[in-house]
Structure formats: C-alpha cells, structure tokens
Chains A and B, each alone.
Chain A
Amino acid sequence: MAYNYNPYMMNPAYTQQQNMIQQNQSNSGFVSVRNETEARNYPVAYGNSVTFKDETAPYIYTKTMGFSQLDRPIFDKYKLVKETPQDVAETNEKPKYDTDVVEKLQDEIKAIWGEIEALKKKPTFTAKKVSE
C-alpha cells in the first residue's frame, strides 16, 4: 500500500508565516509602540539604544541603556511636526541682512573719522634740554 504522505513537505501556513517574518524584518529599524509607556518599559540591552515610533501619536522615542546596572536609562521624546509648503518657501528665501544698522551709524562714523583727522593734525611736542 503506497502512502502519499511526505513528512518533508512544508506546511503552507508555516511557509506563509516565514515569508511574513522575512518581510517584516527588512524595515527601517524603528520599533512600533502603541504609547509612551510601552516604549519606556521596552527591554533594552546594556550599551544599546532603541528607537520607537508611536503608532497613535506623532512622536518618536529613544531609549538608551548605559553600560552599568547603576546607570538609569536615558529616555528622549521627539515630536514630529509636519512641514507645510509655507515652511518650505520660508526656508528657501535668502536670509535678510540688517542693512539699517550701517545707515543709522553713518553719522557717528563720520564724526569719529573727523576726530581722527583732527588728531593727526595736532602739533606734537618734543622734549628739549634747558640749559642752566
């Protein structure tokens, strides 16, 4: 009696699961969390840093563990701000230099130059020996 059962044939559901896992592993390196608490409680190895993306709010979290058990983990929270077309236009504009300052000080500059020229013309005194 011949049996058609092949124990080496892969279960299709298991193969599909393997493919899903391989697809999920090739991601950007962010760990998705549902809230800040989940990120704070996430297990991180000593000397490692993990970056989280909040699925329900526009935040990125980073949790960094030191190399010693005495070090407390460093937790940072970053807010994502969407850039509008107006923001892009403002950043592309050339920076405005304040030219009013030079115009305002023009009179003062002229006065100082005048004083300098006057000082140049002042007579200089030289020491002369007085005979007894």
Chain B
Amino acid sequence: MGMLFQIMQLYQQFKTNPMGMLSQRYNIPNNINNPQDIIQHLLNTNQVSQDQVNNAMRMRNDPQIQNLFK
C-alpha cells in the first residue's frame, strides 16, 4: 500500500508539473525551458547521444506517428 501511494503521488506530481519532474531527473537548470535548449543541454552533458536525438526527431516528424497521437 505504501508503494502504491508513492506511485500515485509521483503520477500526480508528473500530471501537474511534468517539467519539474523531468528537470529534477535530468538535472536541467531552471533557465532552460524550451525543447531545443533542453535537448542541447542533454547532449552537452552526454545524457543522450546524437543518434538518439536524430531518431527522436525523426519519429516526432513522422506523419504516421503523429497520427497515433491525434
């Protein structure tokens, strides 16, 4: 029950402030608040690779995948 409660708390936290949680998880400074700068920060700190960024951007721009979110 304790674990379930913690999971629910995390879910609520993510729902209300997703950027806050992600910033904490990936050590993103508060002054970096747009997607391009966040990705550049993750690259600069070697938390993601260039290939991962390229694949993610390719997926984001793929119309077939965009349809899945409609």
Contact = CB atoms under 8 A, between A and B. Distances in A.
Interface of A: 13, 17, 20-21, 24-25, 31-32, 41-46, 48, 50, 69
Interface string B29-70: 000000010011001100001100111011101101100100
Chain B at the A interface: SS class: helix
A44 B50 contact: yes
A32 B61 CA distance: 9
Given A24-B59, A43-B43, A44-B43, A31 B64 contact: no
- Interface size bracket, B side: 10 to 19
Contacts of B43: 43-46
Contact of A20 (B36, B53, B64): B64
Contacts, number: 38
A32 B59 CA distance: 11
A106 to B, nearest CB: 64
Nearest to A65: B43
Contacts of B44: 45-46, 69
